[in-house]
Amino acid sequence: MAAGLSRSAISSAMSNAEPASLFAALGDATRLGLIASLSDGKARSIVQLGDGLPISRQAVAKHLDVLHDAGLVHRRKSGREVQYALRHEAIEAAQGWLDQVSAQWDGALARLKLMLEGGKG
């Protein structure tokens, strides 16, 4: 994975605002389901996406709005209906943030190990 972060690269070099809204959009089981459905790359309409779900069409539309505002899906009007498709870049952004946390974590472990091994004598 990524590496090379010296100190606290996250809290200083990041605003924490955009990633927060991203994660917030992911923080709902229904929306995660929608994303999982769309993860095959195919675009789907609101009705298609809501098919099988125990909520109203409007609820689905609202969830898709949230996902769209967070940049997680791409909207495209096609005749009578609207096609929603996954925007992989947003997923990658979320992954990026988590990767930074992990990188710092790994770095901390590495430094701790070095300290214990090298500086113990």
Partner DNA sequence: AGAAAATGCAACTCTATGGTTGCGCTTTAG
Partner DNA sequence: CTAAAGCGCAACCATAGAGTTGCATTTTCT
Residues that bind DNA (CB under 7 A): 24, 27-28, 30-31, 45-48, 54-59, 61-63, 66, 79-82
Give me the 15-54 binding string for a copy of itself, x by CB under 8 A, dash otherwise: xxx-xxxxxxxxxxx-xxx-xxx-xxxx------------
Cα–Cα dist 34/53, whole Å: 10
Task: Pick the closer one to DNA by CB: 67 or 100.
Answer: 67
Interface residue list for a copy of itself (CB under 8 A)? 8, 10-11, 14-17, 19-29, 31-33, 35-37, 39-42, 86, 88, 91-92, 94-95, 97-102, 104-105, 108-109, 112
